[in-house]
A and B are shown apart, each in its own frame.
Chain A
Amino acid sequence: MSQLTQQPLPYQSAAPPQVIVSAQGVCRSFRMGRSDINVLQGVDLSIRRGEFIAIEGRSGSGKSTLLHILGALDAVDKGSVAFEGRDYTRFNYTAGLGLKEFLRRTIILFHWIPLLLLVVDAAFYIAFAHDNPKWMKIVDWGGGTALAVIGVHLWLWVLYNALWFFSWLRNYPAERQVAQLRNKEFGFVFQFYHLLPELTVLENTLLSPMVEKSWLGFRAQRRTLVKRAEELLQSLGVGHRMKHLPSELSGGERQRVAIARALMNNPRVLFADEPTGNLDEETGRQIMGVLEKLHREQGQTIVMVTHDRSLARFADRTLILQEGRLQKTDNVES
Chain B
Amino acid sequence: MYKILLILKYLRRRRIAWVSLIAVTMCTALMLIVISVMGGWLRTFRELFHGVNGDIMVDATSMQGFPFYGEMVKQIEALDFVGPGHAAPVVRAFGLVNLNGQRTQGVQVRGYPIETVSNVNDFDASLYRQHISRIDAKAKLADPKLHLTEQERKYFTELADDRTSPSFALAKTAGIRVFPGDLPTDLKIPADLQDKLIYLPSERTMLYRGEMSDADYVRLMALSTEPEYQDAIQTLYHFSDPRRMFRKTVGDVRNWSGMILGDGVASIAKDGTGRDPSLWRIKAELMVAAVPIEGNLPSAENAPPVRPYWIVDDSRTKVYQIDSNTVYVPFDILQQDLQMTEKKSEDGSITWPARTSEIDVRVKPGTDLNKARDKIAEICEQISREQMATGRFAPANGFNVLTWEDSNRDFLGAVEHEEILMLFLFGLISVVAVFLIFCIFYMIVVEKTRDIGIVKSVGATSGGVAGIFLGYGLAIGLVGAGTGFLFGWLVVHYINQLHAWLGRELHIVIWDPKVYVFDSIPNTMNPKEVIIICSVSVLAAVLGALVPAIRAASLHPVESLRWE
Contact = CB atoms under 8 A, between A and B. Distances in A.
A94 B555 CA distance: 11
Interface stretch (B103-111, B143-151, B460-468): B460-468
B424 interface: no
Contacts of B459: 179-184, 208, 211-212
A183 B1 CA distance: 14
B10 A198 contact: yes
A261 B550 contact: no
A168 B549 CA distance: 13
A284 to B, nearest CB: 21
Interface string B470-508: 000000000000000000000000000000000000000
A203 B462 contact: no
Interface in B5-62: 5-6, 9-10, 13
Contacts, number: 87
Contacts of A52: none
A68 interface: yes
B550 A175 contact: no
A58 interface: no
Contacts of A164: 550, 554
Nearest to A165: B550
A313 to B, nearest CB: 28
Contact of A215 (B1, B460, B554): B1
A207 B550 contact: no
A190 to B, nearest CB: 7
A316 interface: no
Contacts of B4: 215
Contact of B2 (A68, A168, A182, A211): A211
B332 to A, nearest CB: 68
Contacts of B1: 209-211, 213-215, 217-218
Interface of B: 1-2, 4-6, 9-10, 13, 450-451, 453-464, 550, 553-554, 556-558, 561
A198 B9 contact: yes
Nearest to B453: A194
Contacts of A183: 458-459
A199 B464 CA distance: 18
Contacts of A71: 457
Interface string A263-291: 00000000000000000000000000000
B457 A194 contact: yes
A196 interface: yes
A172 B465 CA distance: 13
A164 B450 CA distance: 22
Nearest to A183: B459
Contacts of A261: 458
A211 B463 contact: no
A176 interface: yes
27 contacts: A65-B558, A71-B457, A93-B557, A94-B556, A164-B554, A168-B462, A168-B553, A172-B463, A175-B461, A175-B462, A179-B459, A179-B460, A182-B457, A182-B458, A183-B459, A188-B457, A194-B450, A194-B453, A197-B451, A198-B13, A199-B9, A207-B454, A207-B458, A208-B458, A208-B459, A211-B455, A211-B459
Interface string A146-182: 0000000000000001001100100010011001111
A197 B6 CA distance: 11
B178 to A, nearest CB: 71
A74 B558 contact: yes
Interface in A115-173: 161, 164-165, 168, 172
A94 B462 CA distance: 14
Q: SS class of chain A's interface: helix, strand, loop or mixed?
A: helix
A210 B453 contact: no
Nearest to A171: B462
Given A172-B463, A179-B460, A207-B458, 11 more contacts: A65-B558, A68-B558, A73-B557, A164-B550, A164-B554, A181-B459, A183-B458, A194-B454, A208-B458, A209-B1, A215-B1
A158 to B, nearest CB: 11
A280 B188 CA distance: 109
Contacts of A165: 550
B550 A190 contact: no
Contact of A161 (B455, B457, B550, B561): B550
Nearest to B14: A198
Given A194-B450, A198-B13, A199-B9, A207 B462 contact: no
A193 to B, nearest CB: 10
Given A68-B558, A164-B550, A172-B463, A211 B9 contact: no
Closest 7 CB pairs of A and B: A183-B459, A198-B9, A210-B2, A218-B1, A210-B1, A182-B459, A179-B461
B5 A211 contact: no
Nearest to B556: A93
Contacts of B456: 73, 179, 182
Nearest to B546: A161
Interface of A: 65, 68, 71, 73-74, 93-94, 161, 164-165, 168, 172, 175-176, 179-184, 188, 190, 194-199, 203, 207-215, 217-218, 261
Contacts of B450: 194
A258 to B, nearest CB: 10
A124 to B, nearest CB: 28
B548 to A, nearest CB: 13
B5 A199 contact: yes
A111 to B, nearest CB: 14
Contact of A207 (B2, B10, B463, B558): B2
Nearest to A222: B1
**Residue among A164, A184, A196 having the largest count of chain B Cβ atoms under 10 Å:** A196
Contacts of A180: 459
A166 to B, nearest CB: 13
Nearest to A204: B454
Contacts of A94: 556
A78 B450 CA distance: 27
Given A93-B556, A194-B450, A194-B561, A73 B457 contact: yes
B454 A196 contact: yes
Contacts of A74: 556-558
A268 B561 CA distance: 22
A210 B5 contact: yes
Nearest to A74: B558
Contacts of A188: 457-458
A267 to B, nearest CB: 10
**Residue among B10, B13, B550, B557 having the largest count of chain A Cβ atoms under 10 Å:** B557
A176 B461 contact: yes
A183 B455 CA distance: 10
Contacts of A190: 561
Given A164-B550, A217-B1, A218-B1, A198 B461 contact: no
B177 to A, nearest CB: 66
Contacts of A197: 451
Nearest to B562: A64
Contacts of B451: 196-197
Contact of A73 (B5, B461, B550, B558): B558
A194 B557 CA distance: 12
Contacts of A182: 456-459
Contacts of A217: 1
A212 B458 CA distance: 9
A213 B4 CA distance: 12
Contact of B5 (A161, A195, A203, A214): A203
Nearest to A94: B556
A80 to B, nearest CB: 19
